[in-house]
DNA sequence: CGGGTTAATATGTATATACATAATTACCGT
DNA sequence: ACGGTAATTATGTATATACATATTAACCCG
């Protein structure tokens, strides 16, 4: 006896997992399911909405509800503030600004950020530490037009954290790669050149344009966990 | 003039981004917003539901709706089927099974998978190629109890792909790290030992227990892209 | 048989109403 | 001032009804 949309969602999910309706196959319509389960059509709609958002089914107006042909397999990452990440490991966080200057955005970075070459930007290089050991080497370009005037003091609160509190992003992209440590990273992270690094790059956009392009390098032993 | 829940959601999001209600602050209640916008309370509820699911606000019965104290910053990864990943790059996919045998699960893998040591499992080693070049070296443990009998032929369709179509997971975890290539990976991927590898590990659970624990190693140049 | 047009229909949404439930507030007693 | 209890209330949900919209199916004509 179904008590509400959540139970209905779970029951439908179980039936889908049991292959009652195969991938790509048509699930009975809302009216039919409402009749079968003895609930309102709106309740069925609510349950299917949740399944659609989970990627289990695909729905289109008038076209019916189909089991996703290939189950969408999504993993989620909660992007951590580095200080919180370090402290969550029970370690003491600290950071030091290695370099900071207002510059004209070079062509490569400009293209990456979708800004004109020569746009005023802040170039920032930061080392984040955990218990005094190098945790991450961060280099970033900040779109000067997105920052308040005067530019905040990133020696006090790292840009990594300041941006979260003051310039939330609304879109962007992020990527991971394994790369060999170059001279700058090796020096900052106190490791040998060529050591494998987890390199995380991220571009974020605010409501009025690009905010920042950041590159984070973590030494070996760093693992990024996503949930399924 | 708000036309529906989607426009309302966008308007509320813009107001939140503009700090009309600060992080942690209380958003006006549904009845108030319904009155202010001239829509039904259910419409407000629908818009706020979407914002809550996006992590922009937090809602509890009777407690009101608050702007998330720290904007949740989530990134999403669509987990690709390797063949599709290769083909999406315009390359020709192929794979070869380097090793496959039914074994007793050793203690380490058993612990990782939440199974008893000695449980029957399939050990599988696969090399995935793109245009004939090594693309990924995959080693995996498959819980024999989760597989049909007889065990499928992974030489024809890789386990990576077979599982998607036949054993969808319902939960699990996934992680990324940069590691130096060991002898087995170096040999399979035709690179020098010590070369940085993007190492992806994933454990998936089905409705009736653990399915597989897989470790994927990609040579340099492989970039995993997430969307924000 | 194929293509174009029209009608039908399944999902998508908005609203009003009623009820459920968890959290907050108010009140009272010690 | 603090703790406990009861009342209030803001979110959560279910239902019925009406309307919107995109897609599918039916029909007609060349």
CATH number for the domain harbouring residue A25? 1.10.10.10
Residue A58's domain spans which residues? 5-67
CA atoms within 13 A on the CB side of A67: 21
Using 50 as the pLDDT threshold, list the residues of chain B that sit under it: none
Q: Report residue A124: phi and psi, to 5°.
A: -135, 130
Instruction: Please indicate, yes or no, whether residues B138 and B93 belong to a single structural domain of this protein.
Output: yes
Q: How confident is the model at residue B72, as a pLDDT? A: 63
**Domain end (from B32, B67, B102):** B67
pLDDT of A76-102, one tens digit each? 898 888 998 998 888 999 999 999 999
Residues in chain A with CB shorter than 8 Å from the CB of B78 are: 72-74
Q: How confident is the model at residue A71, as a pLDDT? A: 67
Instruction: Please indicate, yes or no, whether residues A93 and A171 belong to a single structural domain of this protein.
Output: yes
Instruction: Please indicate, yes or no, whether residues A13 and A92 belong to a single structural domain of this protein.
Output: no
- Asked whether residue B104 is assigned to any structural domain, the reply reads yes
Q: Report residue B65: phi and psi, to 5°.
A: -115, 125
Q: What is the DSSP letter of A146?
A: G
With CA of A34 and C1' of each nucleotide, the nearest comes out as D15
**Domain end (from A67, A90, A121):** A67
Instruction: Please indicate, yes or no, whether residues A44 and A114 belong to a single structural domain of this protein.
Output: no
SS3 call for B145? helix
pLDDT of A19-36, one tens digit each? 899 888 899 999 999 999
CATH code of the domain in which B102 resides = 3.40.1410.10
Q: How confident is the model at residue B36, as a pLDDT? A: 93
Q: Any chain B CB within 8 A of the CB of A103?
A: no
- Asked whether residue A195 is assigned to any structural domain, the reply reads yes
- Asked whether residue B94 is assigned to any structural domain, the reply reads yes
Instruction: Please indicate, yes or no, whether residues B55 and B128 belong to a single structural domain of this protein.
Output: no
Instruction: Please indicate, yes or no, whether residues B186 and B114 belong to a single structural domain of this protein.
Output: yes
pLDDT of A188-207, one tens digit each? 999 999 999 999 999 998 87
Residues in chain B with CB shorter than 8 Å from the CB of A220 are: 177-180
- Asked whether residue A207 is assigned to any structural domain, the reply reads yes
Question: Is A70's pLDDT higher than 70?
Answer: no
Q: What is the DSSP letter of A20?
A: S
Asked if the Cβ–Cβ distance from B179 to A196 is below 8 Å, we say yes
Any strand D atom closer than 7 Å to B48 CB: yes
Residues in chain A with CB shorter than 8 Å from the CB of B228 are: 79, 169, 171-174, 202, 204
Mutate which of B73, B181, B194 to test chain A, going by most A C-beta atoms within 10 A? Answer: B73
Q: How confident is the model at residue A194, as a pLDDT? A: 93
Asked if the Cβ–Cβ distance from A228 to B194 is below 8 Å, we say no
Asked if the Cβ–Cβ distance from B165 to A199 is below 8 Å, we say no
With CA of B41 and C1' of each nucleotide, the nearest comes out as C15
- Asked whether residue B75 is assigned to any structural domain, the reply reads no
Q: Are strands A120-130 and A93-104 parallel, antiparallel or unpaired?
A: antiparallel
- Asked whether residue B142 is assigned to any structural domain, the reply reads yes
Q: How confident is the model at residue B73, as a pLDDT? A: 75
SS3 call for B100? strand
Residues whose CB falls within 8 Å of the CB of residue B81, separated by 6 or more in sequence, listed in order: A70, B160, B161, B164
Residue B51 has a CB neighbour count (10 Å cut-off) of 22
Any strand D atom closer than 7 Å to B152 CB: no
pLDDT of A99-117, one tens digit each? 999 999 999 999 999 999 9
Asked if the Cβ–Cβ distance from B74 to A72 is below 8 Å, we say no
- Asked whether residue B225 is assigned to any structural domain, the reply reads no
Interface of B with A in 52-71 (CB under 8 A): 53, 70-71
Any strand C atom closer than 7 Å to A177 CB: no
How far is it, in rounded angstroms, from Cα A188 to Cα A215?
14
A72: confidence class by pLDDT, cuts 50, 70, 90: low
Instruction: Please indicate, yes or no, whether residues A57 and A131 belong to a single structural domain of this protein.
Output: no
Please report the number of interchain residue pairs, chain A to chain B, with beta-carbon separation below 8 angstroms.
143
Any strand D atom closer than 7 Å to A6 CB: yes
Residues in chain A with CB shorter than 8 Å from the CB of B204 are: 228
DSSP secondary structure string for all residues of A147-158:
S-SSPP-TTTS-
Any strand D atom closer than 7 Å to A59 CB: no
Instruction: Please indicate, yes or no, whether residues B88 and B59 belong to a single structural domain of this protein.
Output: no
Instruction: Please indicate, yes or no, whether residues A114 and A46 belong to a single structural domain of this protein.
Output: no
pLDDT > 90 in chain A, percent: 69
- Asked whether residue B227 is assigned to any structural domain, the reply reads no
Instruction: Please indicate, yes or no, whether residues B59 and B89 belong to a single structural domain of this protein.
Output: no
With CA of A6 and C1' of each nucleotide, the nearest comes out as D13
Q: How confident is the model at residue B71, as a pLDDT? A: 67
Q: How confident is the model at residue B17, as a pLDDT? A: 83
Q: How confident is the model at residue B184, as a pLDDT? A: 93
Alpha carbon of A33: minimum distance to chain B alpha carbons (Å): 22
Question: Is A168's pLDDT higher than 80?
Answer: no
Q: Cis (ω within 30 of 0) for the bond into A146?
A: no
Strand D-proximal residues of A, range 95-154, CB below 7 A, are: none
SS3 call for B183? helix
Q: Are B167 and B211 in contact (CB under 8 A)?
A: yes
Residues in chain A with CB shorter than 8 Å from the CB of B197 are: 178, 196
Instruction: Please indicate, yes or no, whether residues B152 and B189 belong to a single structural domain of this protein.
Output: yes
Q: How many domains does chain B have?
A: 2
Instruction: Please indicate, yes or no, whether residues B126 and B22 belong to a single structural domain of this protein.
Output: no
Question: Is A152's pLDDT higher than 80?
Answer: yes
**Domain end (from B43, B67, B91):** B67
Mean pLDDT estimate for chain A: 91
Residues in chain A with CB shorter than 8 Å from the CB of B83 are: none
Any strand C atom closer than 7 Å to A61 CB: yes
């Amino acid at each position: 006896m179904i008590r509400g949309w959540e139970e209905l969602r779970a029951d439908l999910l179980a039936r889908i997992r049991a292959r009652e309706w195969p991938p790509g196959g048509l699930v009975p319509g809302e009216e039919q399911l409402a009749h079968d389960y003895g609930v309102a059509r709106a309740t069925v709609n609510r349950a299917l909405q949740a399944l659609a958002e989970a990627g289990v089914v695909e729905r289109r107006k008038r076209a019916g509800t189909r089991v996703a042909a290939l189950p969408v397999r999504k993993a989620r990452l909660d992007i951590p503030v580095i200080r919180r990440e370090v402290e969550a490991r029970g370690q003491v966080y600290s950071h030091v600004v290695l370099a900071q200057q207002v510059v004209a955005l070079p062509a490569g970075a400009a293209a990456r950020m979708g800004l004109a070459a020569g746009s005023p930007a802040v170039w920032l290089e930061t080392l984040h530490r955990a218990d005094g050991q190098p945790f991450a080497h961060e280099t970033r370009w900040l779109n000067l037009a997105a920052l308040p005037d005067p530019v905040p003091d990133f020696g006090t609160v790292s840009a990594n954290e300041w941006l979260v509190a003051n310039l939330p992003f609304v879109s962007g992209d992020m990527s991971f790669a394994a790369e060999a440590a170059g001279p700058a990273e090796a020096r900052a992270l106190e490791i040998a050149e060529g050591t494998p690094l987890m390199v995380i790059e991220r571009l974020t956009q605010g409501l009025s344009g690009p905010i920042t392009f950041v590159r984070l390098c973590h030494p070996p032993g760093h693992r990024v966990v996503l949930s399924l």
